[in-house]
Structure 1
Amino acid sequence: MPRKGMRSLCFSSPKTLAYAISRFPSPSRSTAASLTPRPSFNESMIQQTIAAAENMIVKWNPDTSSFAKVTSLFYEDRNEAMEFIKCVNGLQKAMHLMVTENSGSDNLVRSQNLMQIAMKRLQKEFYQILSTNRAHLDPESVSARSSRASTRSSTSDYEDDGTDDDIHAAGDCISEVEHVSVTAMENLRLIAEAMISSGYGKECIKIYTIIRKSIIDEGIYKLGVEKMSLHQINKMDWEVQEIKIKNWLDAVKIAVKTLFNGERILCDHVFAASESMRESCFAEISKDGANLLFGFPELIAKSKKSPEKMFRSLDMYTAISENWPEIEFIFSFESTSAVRSQALASLIKLTESVRTMLTDFETLVQKDSSKSPVAGGGIHHLTYYVMNYLTCLADYSNILADIITDSTPPSKLHLPESYFETTDSDDTPAPALTIHLAWLLLVLLCKLDGKAKHYKDVSLSYLFLANNLQHVISKVRTSNLQYILGDEWITKNEATVRQFAANYERLGWSHVYSSLPENPTAVIPPGKAKDLFKKFNSIFEETYRKQSGWVVPDSKLRDEIKISIERKLVPIYREFYDTHRVTLGAERNLGLVVRYAPEDVGNYLSDLFYGTGSSESTSLSSSTSSSNRRQSRSR
Structure 2
Amino acid sequence: MAEAMLAAGYETECEQVFLVARRNALDAAAQALGYERASIDDVVRMPWEALESEVATWIKAFRHVVSAALPGERDLAARVFASSDADLGRAIFADLAHCALLQLLNFTEAVAMTKRAAEKLFKVLDMYEAVRDAAPLVDAWFNVDPSSDSSESDDLKSELASVQARLGESAAAIFCDLESSIRADVGKQPVPGGAVHPLTRYLMNYLKVACEYKHTLEQVFREHHRPADDDEADTAAGDPFAAQLMEVMELLHGNLEAKSRLYKDQSLSNIFMMNNGRYMLQKIRGSAEINAVVGEAWSRKRSTDLRQYHKNYQRETWGRVLNLLRDDGVITVKGHVQKQVLKERFKQFNAAMDEIQRTQGAWVVSDEQLQSELRVSIAAVIVPAYRSFLGRFSQQFSAGRQTEKYIKLSGEDLEAIIEELFDGNAVSMPRRRT
**1:525 counterpart residue number:** 337
* Residues 289 and 311 of structure 1: CA distance in aligned 2, closer, same or farther (over 3 Å): same
Deviations, residues 350-400 of structure 1 (Å, cap 9, x unaligned): 011112112222101111121101111111111112112111111111110
Kept after mapping to 2: 8 A contact 1:526/1:583: no
Does 2:426 match 1:608?
no
- Is 2:171 the counterpart of 1:354? yes
- Partner of 2:189 in structure 1? 372
Any gaps of 5 or more consecutive residues in structure 1? Answer: 1-122, 127-191, 414-425, 626-635
2:278 to 470, 475, 491: 470
The aligned residue for residue 141 of structure 1 is: none
AA at the equivalent of 1:431: D
Output the CA distance in 2 between the equivalents of 1:448 and 1:594.
41
Q: How does 1:192-591 map to 2 (within 5 A)?
A: 205=15, 208-272=18-82, 274-330=85-141, 334-335=151-152, 337-406=154-223, 407-409=225-227, 430-479=238-287, 480-517=289-326, 524-525=336-337, 527=339, 528-586=341-399, 588-591=401-404
Q: Which has the larger radius of gyration?
A: 1
- Say if 2:412 is the partner of 1:594: no
Post-superposition Cα deviations, 1:312-364, rounded to whole Å, max 9, x if no partner, equal 10111112223331133326662454332222111100011112112222101
Q: CA deviation at 1:198?
A: 9.8
Query: Could you tell me how far 1:200 is from its partner in structure 2?
Result: 7.7
Q: Decide whether aligned partners of structure 1 residues 559 and 410 sit closer, same or farther in structure 2, where only a CA change above 3 A counts.
A: farther
Question: How far apart, in 2, do the equivalents of 1:330 and 1:591 lie?
Answer: 91
Aligned pair in 2 of structure 1 residues 412, 515: CA closer, same or farther (>3 Å)?
A: farther
- How do residues 141-152 of structure 1 correspond to structure 2 at under 5 angstroms? none
Q: Choose 307-316 or 513-522, whichever is displaced more.
A: 513-522
Q: Which amino acid aligns with 2:226?
A: T
Please say if residues 410 and 439 of structure 1, whose CA atoms lie closer than 8 Å, have aligned partners that are also in contact: no
**Residue deviations 1:42-64 (CA, integer Å, cap 9, x gap):** xxxxxxxxxxxxxxxxxxxxxxx
Residue aligned with 1:514, SS? helix
> What amino acid sits opposite 1:482 in the alignment?
N
CA contact (8 A) 2:179 2:248 kept: yes
SS in 2 for 1:611: coil
Single out whichever of 468-477 and 205-214 deviates more from structure 2.
205-214
Instruction: Write out per-residue CA displacement over residues 128-151 of structure 1, whole angstroms, 9 at most, x where no aligned residue.
Output: xxxxxxxxxxxxxxxxxxxxxxxx
Question: Does the CA contact (< 8 Å) of 2:30 and 2:65 recur in 1?
Answer: yes
Deviation string, structure 1 residues 516-547 (Cα, Å, up to 9, x no partner): 11589986526144333223222222222222
- Counterpart-to-counterpart distance in 1, 2:178 and 2:229: 14
The answer on whether the counterparts of 2:109 and 2:163 sit within 8 Å (CA) in structure 1 is: yes
Question: Matches of 1:214 and 1:389 in 2, distance apart?
Answer: 41
Match of 1:57? none
- Tell me which amino acid in the other structure corresponds to 2:44: N
Q: Distance in 2 between matches of 1:586 and 1:284?
A: 103
Distance (whole Å) between structure 2 residues aligned to residue 624 and residue 412 of structure 1: 67
Q: Partner letter of residue 578 of structure 1?
A: G
Q: CA deviation at 1:411?
A: 9.7
Q: C-alpha distance in 2, partners of 1:538/1:599?
A: 18
Sort the Cα spacing of 1:258 and 1:624 in 2 relative to 1 into closer, same or farther, 3 A: farther
The CA deviation string for residues 253-295 of structure 1, in whole angstroms up to 9 with x for no partner, is: 2111111111112223444563321222112333222211123
| Per-residue deviation, 1:224 | 4.0
Instruction: State the one-letter code of the partner of 2:397.
Output: L
CA distance 1:316–1:203, shift in 2 (3 Å): closer
Counterparts of 1:429 and 1:500, CA distance in 2: 35
Q: What secondary structure is seen at the aligned counterpart in 1 of 2:111?
A: helix
Q: 1:412 to 1:544 in 2, by over 3 A?
A: farther
The residue type paired with residue 451 of structure 1 is K
Label 1:603 to 1:409 Cα distance change in 2 as closer, same or farther (>3 A). Answer: farther
Separation of aligned partners in 2, 1:474 and 1:379 = 12
SS at 1:408 equivalent: coil
Q: Distance in 2 between matches of 1:318 and 1:524?
A: 82
Per-residue deviation at 1:586? 4.6
CA distance in 2: counterparts of 1:609 and 1:491, whole angstroms: 25
Amino acid at match of 2:99: D
For residues 40 and 355 of structure 2, the distance between their equivalents in structure 1, rounded to whole angstroms, comes to 63
Change (3 A) 1:462 1:270: same
Assess if the C-alpha contact under 8 Å between 1:302 and 1:349 holds in 2: no
Q: Kindly state the Cα deviation for residue 548 of structure 1 after the two structures are TM-superposed.
A: 1.6
Q: 1:610 to 1:524 in 2, by over 3 A?
A: farther
| Structure 1 residues 100-249: aligned runs within 5 Å | 123=1, 205=15, 208-249=18-59
In structure 2, relative to structure 1, the CA distance for the partners of 1:546 and 1:285 (3 Å cut) is closer
TM-score, scaled relative to structure 2: 0.87
- The amino acid of 1:311's aligned partner reads F
Q: Distance in 2 between matches of 1:327 and 1:469?
A: 48
SS for the counterpart of 2:135 is: helix
Instruction: Check 1:540–1:203 CA distance in 2 against 1; reply closer, same or farther (3 A cut).
Output: closer
Deviations 1:15-66, CA, capped at 9 Å, x for gaps: xxxxxxxxxxxxxxxxxxxxxxxxxxxxxxxxxxxxxxxxxxxxxxxxxxxx
- CA distance in 2 between counterparts of 1:463 and 1:607 reads 15
Aligned to 1:10: none
Letter in 2 for 1:302: M
Aligned-pair CA distance for 1:429:
5.6
| CA spacing shift, 1:529–1:209, aligned 2, 3 Å | closer
Higher fraction of helix: 2
Task: State whether residues 78 and 89 of structure 2, in contact with CA within 8 Å, keep that contact through their aligned partners in structure 1.
Answer: yes
User: What code does the residue aligned with 2:138 have?
Assistant: I
Kept after mapping to 2: 8 A contact 1:298/1:345: no
CA distance in 2, matches of 1:470, 1:366: 22
1:373–1:452 CA contact under 8 A, matched in 2: yes
Query: Residue 497 of structure 1 aligns to a residue in which SS?
Result: helix
TM-score w.r.t. the length of structure 1 is 0.61
